Amino acid sequence: MQNPLLETFQTKHQSAPFNDIKEEHFLPAFRELIKISEQEINNIAENRNEPTFENVIEALAFSGEKLDVVSGIFFNLNSAETNDEIQKIAQEVSPLLAEYSAKISQNSKLFERIKKVYDEKEMYKLNEEQEMLLTETYKGFVRSGALLNNADKEKFKDISIQLSKKTLQYGQNVLAETNSYFRHITDAGELAGIPEPIMDQYREEAKTRNLEGFVVTLQYPSYLPFMTYAENRDLRKELALANGKKSFSNNEFDNQNLIREIVSLKQEKAQLLGYKNFADYVLEERMAKTPDQVTAFLHELLEKAKPYAEKEIAELKVLAKADGIETMESYDHNFYAEKLRKQKFDIDDEELKPYFQLEKVQEAVFGLAKQLFDLHFLETHEIQKYHEEVKTYEIFENGTFKALLYVDYFPRKGKRAGAWMTSFKSQYKKNGLNFRPHISVVCNFSKPGADTPSLLTFQEVTTLFHEFGHALHGVLADTTYPNLSGTSVKWDFVELPSQFLENFCYEPEFLKTFAKHYKTGEILPDDKIQKISASKNFLEGYQTLRQLGFGLLDMAYHSNADKVGDIKTFEVEETKATNLYPSNPETAMSTSFSHIFQGGYSAGYYSYKWAEVLDADAFQYFKENGIFNPEIAAKYKVLLAAGGTKDPMELYKNFRGSEPKVESLLKRAFG
């Protein structure tokens, strides 16, 4: 069988030939490419020449190129356009890749050669990036079990394979639960309070299921507006329970046992390597360094934020009490938060949405990239796509091709919830050529209606800017080695570019350039713009506590795996300092906390708040000197282009002139 995944892509920019790829191509391609990549590794390990930086470290950095590309295609499809067949293949492929990875990291001959180069690095006169590659390669092997005895190496490999299967199953269970629930409503009176554009969305969803009336789902663009506007408290409770029960219902998709197994395996993995727990293992390679430092950081913010959060919730409870609600529940929060926001700022999302047409918001973020970094975006129809809704853009800088960008904005059955940036191909330099990255931004915004374009809530506007901030980190990458390129940085540094870009959404000067009514072209009135800017810190105390709760729970799972018994009990105990609403025994957040059990945020969720300190400090620098200041933008561009080639604190200090200050975040959040 001819397999396009095993051939050189004869497409523009050697982009993925999606039109030719079929599900049945993946498994044979993975098996063949793993074989080829293993041979490359063996050639490096068995080389009879004296080990050098070039024939060991550099050769290793460029090995498995084709396997990386095919992995990128497959796992991005598994997130954005999956089906039963792809999920089944993923269950077969993940352990194959885990075993392949373990074979490399535990190849004793290869490690001997790496160690020799590492021990003799002074003789090589390496530049800064080469030295970083050498250090990261050596540490990576040690942290993957290279110094273990043979019996423990086998244990380590087995744990890695088990984790790859179990984390994948966790995510598939969450997706299945999200897709399986929907609420069919035939009486429009039950949807009192829901704005008409959202009602249209619910009608469209019903039509796709061949039903009369309305359908609400657990997909974010459907669920969140319901919880924000629906006056029917019983229905809000029903939807919230369905959402909170995801993979917590003692059915085939229940994740409780998987959580216990995952954290136990991670603990065992860390202890094999001599660490006390998985958090110690992870944080050794982060800016934060230790669990104690993370916990101290989270508790410092908790102490500052909690009084503000309690005051905010007290305000909401006054509104709820006026409606006869004596005990306010978590499923009331969004509804009364929206009421309070209207009272304080006289704005609501539905009133603002006509001013935030998706295409115009995208133009704005493209324009910002042009103004700050001289990047130009040109839509192209010559790139094959994995779904008809995807759009593709070529990005140029000074007339030179810089990157390929895929954007995929709307929810589908085969797409997981949320928003993310990823890549199909990394940037790197080889044989005198600069291979440019293929970047993807994936979101779940409301689809266009029959008579209206896709209109975004303001929160969705900031989401697009957030993911595009990540994309710029990839687009501007300018490193020699793919494993130091773009977002390949310390995990608690990776959110700086994304959160930094969100700040522009609150700047009146910038908002006026794109917040225009989709029908009339009228610019969003000044008073509304000022209110958006003023509302930036609305309920910031509560939002901070919520994020701190996630961070503390994450650290607890990965510091105290042996104490994880009943999932609900553990969750309630570890987050009690941050919970301002009664806990419902029927729901659990942990069972759908994909960031830490499927994604890469294990012992790393704190990094969102950590990076907020960085982004607040960085944007303050721009504010003091002009938000479009070309000199500061040029320095920030250097930070983004450097990827993981330097220590992140060094990169930050080179940009800012000093270390970031927690006070910058506290000042922005609480004045």
- Residue 65 one-letter amino acid: E
pLDDT value, residue 667: 86
- Please check whether residue 27 lies inside any domain of the structure: yes
Asked if 207 and 124 sit in the same domain, the reply is no
Asked if 131 and 12 sit in the same domain, the reply is yes
pLDDT value, residue 118: 96
Domain endpoint, select from 121, 147, 173:
147
- Please check whether residue 59 lies inside any domain of the structure: yes
pLDDT tens digits along 373-386: 999 999 999 999 99
Which residues lie across from 275 on neighbouring strands? none
Asked if 206 and 83 sit in the same domain, the reply is no
CATH code assigned at 57: 1.20.1050.40
Q: Which of 205, 350, 467, 574 is catalytic?
A: 467
**Predicted model pTM:** 0.85
Q: Which domain holds residue 99?
A: 4-105+107-147
Asked if 94 and 226 sit in the same domain, the reply is no
How many domains, the chain?
Answer: 2
**Separation CA 270–CA 279 (nearest Å):** 8
Residues in Cβ contact with 274 at an 8 Å cutoff, skipping those fewer than 6 apart: none
Asked if residue 54 lies in contact with residue 134, where contact means CB atoms within 8 angstroms, the answer is no
Asked if 29 and 130 sit in the same domain, the reply is yes
- Please check whether residue 141 lies inside any domain of the structure: yes
Asked if 44 and 93 sit in the same domain, the reply is yes
Using the predicted structure, report yes or no on whether residue 67 has a pLDDT greater than 80.
yes
Asked if 134 and 195 sit in the same domain, the reply is no
- Please check whether residue 318 lies inside any domain of the structure: no
Asked if 119 and 216 sit in the same domain, the reply is no
What per-residue string of b and e applies to 51-63 under the rule 16 or more CB within 10 Å gives b? bbbebbbbbbbeb
Domain endpoint, select from 202, 223, 244:
244
Asked if 49 and 140 sit in the same domain, the reply is yes
pLDDT tens digits along 257-312: 999 999 999 999 999 999 999 999 999 999 889 999 999 999 999 999 999 999 99
CB atoms within 10 A of CB 210: 6
* Token pair belonging to 42: 């063996």
Asked if 23 and 97 sit in the same domain, the reply is yes
Residues in Cβ contact with 64 at an 8 Å cutoff, skipping those fewer than 6 apart: 33, 37, 40
Domain endpoint, select from 147, 166, 201:
147
pLDDT value, residue 534: 84
**Separation CA 528–CA 520 (nearest Å):** 17
Using the predicted structure, report yes or no on whether residue 426 has a pLDDT greater than 90.
yes
- Chain CA centroid to CA 82, Å: 18
pLDDT tens digits along 29-49: 999 999 999 999 999 999 999
Among candidate residues 265, 270, 175, the one with its CA nearest the CA of residue 564? 265
Pairing of strands 438-442, 420-425: antiparallel
Alpha-helical (H) ranges within 106-232 are: 108-119, 128-142, 150-180, 196-208, 220-229
Asked if 30 and 135 sit in the same domain, the reply is yes
Which residue, chain included where needed, has tokens 């400090």?
617
- Angle (CA) 576-578-584 rounded to 5° is 55
Q: Is position 467 annotated as part of the catalytic site?
A: yes
Residue 474 pLDDT grade (very low, low, confident, very high; cuts 50, 70, 90): very high
Asked if residue 666 lies in contact with residue 658, where contact means CB atoms within 8 angstroms, the answer is no
- Please check whether residue 74 lies inside any domain of the structure: yes
* Token pair belonging to 6: 């095993």
* Residue 664, φ and ψ in degrees, nearest 5: -60, -40
**Separation CA 322–CA 402 (nearest Å):** 57
- Please check whether residue 569 lies inside any domain of the structure: no
- Please check whether residue 204 lies inside any domain of the structure: yes
- Please check whether residue 358 lies inside any domain of the structure: no
pLDDT tens digits along 528-582: 998 888 888 899 999 999 999 999 999 999 999 999 999 999 999 999 999 999 9
Using alpha carbons, list the distances in angstroms from residue 356 to 360, 408, 468, 492: 7, 17, 16, 31
Asked if 93 and 138 sit in the same domain, the reply is yes
